[in-house]
Amino acid sequence: MSRSIYIPEQWYPIEEARKVTRSKPHRIKRLGMELVLWRGTDNKVRVHHAACPHRGADLGLGTINKERGCIVCPYHGFEFHEGGHCTHMPCEGKGAKIRKDLKLELFQVREEQDLIWLWYGDTEPTEELPFFKDRNLEEKRTEAITTFAWPVSFTRVIEGMLDIHHLPFAHGKYVWGVGPLLDPYEATIEKGCIVQSKGTLRYPEKESGFTTELDLYFPGMLYLKLGASVYAGVYMCPVDEQNTWGYISYHQTSLTLPWVGKWFTRVMLWFEMTFVQHDDRRLLLSSEPQMVDIRDDRLVHADKAIALWYKLRAQALESAQKTDG
């Protein structure tokens, strides 16, 4: 089994849509690649490698010519049209013949759910994005948003996100009265691409407890419901083999008054990221090895959702290998 962090032939959320403008190139690192994002005259996002195909200069340091719909290399002024082809070489003068391979290789991307999604693979992309359309994640009234960048591998982050039974131990000082026994607990694969799990943490002598739902749309879009009034969408993408980027859309339904409800959600998210997720980050960062797969773990029943995610990962890697072969 491959230990690769990158799972091919998948859609990945790579950046917030609002950060990509027509005014200048936007440079990021995702999936081990240095990328540049920018908008053309049609306002659609273009994504390609940061290195200029001429001599490797960083196009993220370049400029956007809005009138001609092109990105301009900062080193030699070469212009690349929003379709990827080079249209101007100042050093060669007007009318110069431009070699056909002097072009940008554009990734296939989509803009949905306030995010830019990139298809990582050589096959034709699937029509459906890994997003829960049937969940109330588009509700803006009490939404709070944040991003995170952790020096933790993608697989370790996924393991942490699918883990319910760490709650009373890793976060007991913030969550009172949550027992250690995960019962009942169930996890299944639905529609061939969704790990669906639900469990109740309780004390052995009690029948009721704290119930959590964690559903993950493969490879890295998590829907979580904590108790009766808090839910969130977490969108994750590898930066490289040791780092992970994520986008969080956080919601609560206990207080929904205009302005007050949104402020309350922001306070809740601030607490979540400052304290709860801070502990998760610390513990995941300390876990070894970082380039983990199921062979490194000794999973128990309470880890069933993690085991099912690794099952989907193995199937995806096997399918990609057959395609390459």
Share above pLDDT 70 across residues of the chain, in percent, rounded to a whole number = 98
Residues sharing a CB contact under 8 Å with residue 254, sequence separation 6 or more, in sequence order: 229, 230, 264
Give residue 122's identity as a one-letter amino acid code: D
Q: What is the pLDDT of residue 325?
A: 60
- 3-state SS, residue 31: coil
pTM of the entire structure? 0.94
Give residue 231's identity as a one-letter amino acid code: Y
Q: Is the dihedral of CA 76, 79, 80, 86 positive or negative?
A: negative
Q: Is the dihedral of CA 90, 95, 96, 102 positive or negative?
A: positive
Give yes or no for residue 3 having a pLDDT over 60.
no
pLDDT band per the 50, 70, 90 thresholds, residue 1: very low
Phi and psi based region of residue 259 (left: phi greater than 0; alpha: psi -120 to 50; beta: remaining): left
Q: What is the pLDDT of residue 139?
A: 75
Q: Say how far apart CA 55 and CA 91 lie, in whole Å.
A: 14
Contact 265, 250 (CB under 8 A): yes
Whether omega before 289 lies within 30 degrees of 0, making that bond cis, reads yes
Q: Which of 185, 136, 180 is nearest to 308 (CA)?
A: 185
Q: Helix/strand/coil (H, E, C) string of 253-279?
A: CCCCCCCHHHHHHHHHHHHHHHHHHHH
Q: Say how far apart CA 322 and CA 280 lie, in whole Å.
A: 36
Mean pLDDT to the nearest integer, 231-254: 95
Q: How far is CA 325 from the centre of its chain?
A: 28
**Class of residue 59 by CB neighbours under 10 A (exposed 0-12, middle 13-18, buried 19+):** buried
Q: What is the pLDDT of residues 52-80, one digit of tens each?
A: 999 999 999 999 999 999 999 999 999 99
Q: Say how far apart CA 147 and CA 245 lie, in whole Å.
A: 7
Task: Report phi then psi at 42, rounded to 5.
Answer: -90, 5
pLDDT band per the 50, 70, 90 thresholds, residue 2: low
Q: What is the pLDDT of residue 142?
A: 86
Dihedral (C-alpha) 151, 153, 156, 158: value to the nearest 10 degrees? 100
Contact 249, 159 (CB under 8 A): no
Give residue 153's identity as a one-letter amino acid code: S
Kindly state the DSSP code that residue 8 receives in the 8-state scheme. Answer: S
Contact 29, 317 (CB under 8 A): no
Give yes or no for residue 227 having a pLDDT over 90.
no
Task: Give the max Cα distance, the chain.
Answer: 83
Identify the residue whose tokens are 């690769």.
4
Q: Which domains does the chain have, with CATH numbers?
A: 10-120 (2.102.10.10), 144-324 (3.90.380.10)
Contact 187, 308 (CB under 8 A): yes
Tell me what the pLDDT averaged over the chain comes to.
94
Mean pLDDT to the nearest integer, 101-121: 97
